[in-house]
Structure 1
Amino acid sequence: MTIKRQPLFDPQSFLAKVGEGRSIASYRKDQIIFSQGDPADAVFYIQKGKVKITVISEQGKEAVIAILDPNEFFGEACLAGQAQRITTVTSMVESAIMRLDKAAVVRVIHHEPAFSEMFIAHLLGRTIRVEADLVDQLFNSSEKRLARLLLLLANFGKDGKPEPIVAKISQEMLAEMIGTTRSRVSFFMNKFRKLGLIEYDGSIEGGIQVHSSLLNLVLHEQPEIRTGLPPPEGRS
Structure 2
Amino acid sequence: MSTIDPIAEFIQGQLNEIRVVSGEREYHRNETIYHLDDPADHIFYILSGSVKITRVSDDGKEKIISIHRAGEIFGELCFCEVDDRRSDQAVAMEPTRVLAIRVHDFLAMLRENPKALLDMLSLFCKRLSEAQQQIETLAFDNTTRRLARVLLKSSSDSGLERLRLTHEELAQMVGTSREIITTIMNQFREEGLIDYRRSEVSPHVEKLRQFLVTS
Query: CA-to-partner distance for each residue in 1:101-125, whole Å, 9 max, x for gaps?
Result: 0101111111112322332222121
Q: What is the aligned length? A: 205
Which residue does 1:96 correspond to in 2? 97
Same amino acid, percent of matched pairs: 27
Which residue does 2:204 correspond to in 1? 211
| TM-score (normalizing by structure 2) | 0.85
Q: How does 1:116-127 map to 2 (within 5 A)?
A: 116-127=117-128
Which residue does 2:176 correspond to in 1? 180
Query: CA-to-partner distance for each residue in 1:122-147, whole Å, 9 max, x for gaps?
Result: 21211111011111111111111001
| Secondary structure, aligned partner of 1:150 | helix
Q: How does 1:20-59 map to 2 (within 5 A)?
A: 20-59=20-59
| Secondary structure, aligned partner of 2:19 | coil
The answer to whether 1:194 aligns with 2:190 is: yes
Aligned-CA RMSD value? 2.2
| Secondary structure, aligned partner of 1:208 | strand
Q: Distance in 1 between matches of 2:183 and 2:109?
A: 49
Letter in 1 for 2:128: T
The answer to whether the 8 Å contact 1:11/1:114 transfers is: no
| TM-score (normalizing by structure 1) | 0.78
Q: Which has the higher helix share?
A: 2
Return the offset for 1:99.
1.0
| Secondary structure, aligned partner of 1:78 | helix
The answer to whether 1:75 aligns with 2:75 is: yes
With a CA cutoff of 8 Å and minimum separation of 6, indicate the structure with the bigger relative contact order: 2
Change (3 A) 1:15 1:138: farther
Q: Distance in 1 between matches of 2:211 and 2:74?
A: 30
| Secondary structure, aligned partner of 1:77 | helix
| Secondary structure, aligned partner of 2:29 | coil
Question: Higher Cα Rg: structure 1 or 2?
Answer: 1
Letter in 2 for 1:99: A
Unaligned runs of 5+ in 2: 1-8
The answer to whether the 8 Å contact 2:21/2:101 transfers is: yes
Q: Distance in 2 between matches of 1:30 and 1:17?
A: 30
Letter in 2 for 1:199: D
The answer to whether the 8 Å contact 2:44/2:98 transfers is: yes
Query: CA-to-partner distance for each residue in 1:182-222, whole Å, 9 max, x for gaps?
Result: 33211210111111111112x2x2x111111212122x12x
The answer to whether 1:170 aligns with 2:170 is: no
Q: Which has the higher strand share?
A: 2
Change (3 A) 1:183 1:12: same
Q: Distance in 2 between matches of 1:15 and 1:123?
A: 22
